[in-house]
């Protein structure tokens, strides 16, 4: 059993968090004169509930996880920064990641002055396990694993993930932002097996609520307590909490739309495969495809001229001449295919 406490930054371990009015008084009162709020009821004159308890209860039910093991962030972007801050002593500790992958791991390391140790994924975007492990040492505090990975779209091998969780000397974060497109691959049912595991998910992708900004981290109660210790007192606003809660009560709508997007991704894959300008389509389990073109820059510019924007990934390791294409509405995807056929 790893000593997780020993991995936390010493000043965070002993930090007394800010005690907000809403956190201090948890009961029901008729007259609220404790938070210097405005008394005029407009639906958002009061501070939000600090721990997003209703959302944690709803997510806990959907995911089968106790709400005390759930931390809610202002998008999983915020959680990436918070995890880095809890575990990395600035100027001393290191995080590990496997490019090409989600860019915020590196940015959060930069903000927090943690060393960013990059080990590129192999050309098929699988993990070079022994090379990665060779870089682990006593300064290794966080390992970012993204599965399914952005921008490649593939799942990482479950046995490799398990091996890395067991062998990494620090905290392994499994970023499951795209897991709603392949829920059967989630590690969440196994969370309790691994005291050094944090799983992050988001409402931004399958749930269709990128504008709402709501992400979740699933981990041991101790790790959740540490994340709560450093969070801003009211990080999830009342509007976000209300909109997210309403959407979480209708998982059927999410599942239906995920089904449509998966079918669209398969159609895109099929149709793109018929075009001479396409060199390779990387297999994806998500709502996007990484596609290698013969000349990605000219394709990118041509599409832009047609009013269609995709993401250029050519600067990323093992992704030369690659564009990342998100599955849109069926008619949008048809428009994309027509534009590409014209080339
Ligand atoms: C792998 C991955 N993780 C996290 C995020 C950020 O999600 P959120 O909108 O919850 O901040 C993204 C967004 O593109 C992503 O691709």
Check whether residue 216 and residue 284 sit in a common domain.
no
Domain boundary (249, 265, 289) is at: 249
Domain range for 258:
252-342
Domain boundary (232, 249, 266) is at: 249
Cβ of 87 closer than 6 Å to ligand 1, yes or no, is no
In the chain, alpha helices (H): 10-13, 21-24, 53-63, 75-87, 104-111, 129-134, 158-167, 221-230, 238-248, 251-272, 296-305, 330-342
For 285, counting Cβ atoms within 10 Å of its Cβ (0-12 exposed, 13-18 middle, 19+ buried), the class is middle
The closest of 284, 287, 293 to 323, measured between CA atoms, is: 293
Distance of alpha carbon 192 from alpha carbon 77, whole angstroms: 24
Cβ of 293 closer than 6 Å to ligand 1, yes or no, is no
Cβ of 202 closer than 6 Å to ligand 1, yes or no, is yes
Continuous segment of H or E residues that includes residue 279? strand 278-281
* Ligand 1 atom 3: residue of nearest CA: 177
Check whether residue 312 and residue 273 sit in a common domain.
yes
**What is the CATH classification number for the domain harbouring 222?**
3.40.640.10
204 Cα: distance to centroid of ligand 1 (angstroms): 7
3-state secondary structure of 142: strand
Distance of alpha carbon 122 from alpha carbon 125, whole angstroms: 5
Check whether residue 167 and residue 213 sit in a common domain.
yes
Cβ of 201 closer than 6 Å to ligand 1, yes or no, is no
Cβ of 150 closer than 6 Å to ligand 1, yes or no, is yes
Check whether residue 226 and residue 190 sit in a common domain.
yes
Domain boundary (233, 249, 265) is at: 249
Mutate to test the pocket of ligand 1, among 154, 199, 204 (most ligand atoms within 8 A of CB): 204
Number of domains the chain contains: 2
Q: Look at the block and give the residue holding tokens 């809610």.
A: 72
Cβ of 240 closer than 6 Å to ligand 1, yes or no, is no
pLDDT attached to residue 23: 86
Phi-psi region of 108 (alpha: psi -120 to 50; beta: other; left: phi over 0): alpha
Check whether residue 185 and residue 152 sit in a common domain.
yes
pLDDT attached to residue 166: 98
Write out the two tokens for 91. Answer: 């100027």
**What is the CATH classification number for the domain harbouring 297?**
3.90.1150.10
Check whether residue 206 and residue 323 sit in a common domain.
no
Continuous segment of H or E residues that includes residue 144? strand 140-146
CA distances from 216 to 71, 200, 243, 276 (A): 6, 6, 15, 42
* Ligand 1 atom 7: residue of nearest CA: 76
234 Cα: distance to centroid of ligand 1 (angstroms): 21
Report CA dihedral (314, 155, 214, 165) to the nearest 10 degrees.
-110
26 Cα: distance to centroid of ligand 1 (angstroms): 32
263 Cα: distance to centroid of ligand 1 (angstroms): 22
Cβ of 98 closer than 6 Å to ligand 1, yes or no, is no
Cβ of 204 closer than 6 Å to ligand 1, yes or no, is yes
pLDDT attached to residue 2: 62
Closest-lying ligand 1 atom to the alpha carbon of residue 77 = 11
Q: Name residues whose C-beta falls within 8 Å of residue 332's C-beta, 6 or more positions apart in sequence.
A: none
Check whether residue 175 and residue 189 sit in a common domain.
yes
pLDDT attached to residue 143: 99
Q: Which phi and psi angles does 145 have, rounded to 5°? A: -115, 130
Mutate to test the pocket of ligand 1, among 74, 83, 102 (most ligand atoms within 8 A of CB): 102
Closest-lying ligand 1 atom to the alpha carbon of residue 202 = 10
Check whether residue 258 and residue 202 sit in a common domain.
no
Q: Low-confidence residues of the chain, pLDDT below 50?
A: 1
Q: Name residues whose C-beta falls within 8 Å of residue 249's C-beta, 6 or more positions apart in sequence.
A: 58
Check whether residue 239 and residue 258 sit in a common domain.
no
Closest-lying ligand 1 atom to the alpha carbon of residue 203 = 10
- Within 10 angstroms of residue 103's Cβ, the number of other Cβ atoms is 14
Instruction: Say how many residues make up the chain.
Output: 343
pLDDT attached to residue 40: 97
pLDDT attached to residue 118: 98
Check whether residue 215 and residue 321 sit in a common domain.
no
Check whether residue 196 and residue 326 sit in a common domain.
no
pLDDT attached to residue 1: 45
Check whether residue 155 and residue 300 sit in a common domain.
no
Closest-lying ligand 1 atom to the alpha carbon of residue 204 = 9
């Amino acid at each position: 059993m790893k000593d997780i406490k020993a991995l936390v930054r010493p000043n965070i371990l002993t930090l007394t968090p800010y005690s907000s009015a809403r956190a201090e008084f948890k009961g029901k009162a008729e007259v609220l004169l404790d938070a210097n709020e405005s008394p005029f009821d407009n639906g958002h004159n009061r501070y939000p509930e600090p721990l997003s308890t209703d959302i944690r209860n709803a997510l806990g039910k959907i995911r089968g996880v106790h709400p005390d093991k759930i931390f809610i962030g202002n998008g999983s972007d915020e959680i990436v920064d918070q995890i880095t801050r809890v575990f990395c002593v600035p100027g001393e500790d290191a995080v590990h990641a496997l490019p090409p992958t989600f860019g915020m791991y590196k940015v959060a390391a930069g903000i927090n002055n943690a060393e960013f140790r990059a080990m590129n994924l192999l050309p098929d975007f699988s993990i070079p396990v022994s090379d990665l492990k060779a870089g682990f040492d006593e300064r290794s505090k966080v390992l970012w694993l993204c599965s399914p990975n952005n921008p490649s779209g593939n799942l990482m091998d479950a046995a490799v993930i398990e091996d890395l969780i067991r062998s990494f000397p620090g905290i392994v974060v499994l970023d499951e932002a795209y897991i709603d497109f392949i829920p059967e691959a989630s590690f969440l049912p196994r969370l309790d097996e691994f005291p050094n595991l944090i799983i992050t998910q988001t409402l931004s992708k399958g749930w269709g609520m990128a504008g709402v900004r709501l992400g979740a981290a699933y981990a041991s109660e101790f790790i959740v307590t540490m994340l709560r210790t450093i969070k801003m007192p009211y990080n999830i606003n009342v509007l976000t909490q209300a909109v997210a809660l309403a959407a979480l009560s209708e998982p059927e709508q999410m599942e239906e739309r995920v089904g449509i997007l998966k079918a669209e991704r398969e159609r895109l894959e099929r149709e793109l495969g018929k075009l001479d300008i396409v060199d390779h389509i990387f297999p994806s389990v998500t709502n996007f495809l990484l596609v290698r073109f013969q000349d990605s820059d000219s394709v990118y510019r041509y599409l832009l001229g047609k009013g269609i924007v995709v993401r250029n990934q050519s600067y990323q390791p093992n992704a030369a001449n690659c564009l990342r294409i998100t599955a849109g509405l069926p008619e949008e995807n048809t428009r994309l295919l027509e534009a590409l056929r014209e080339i």
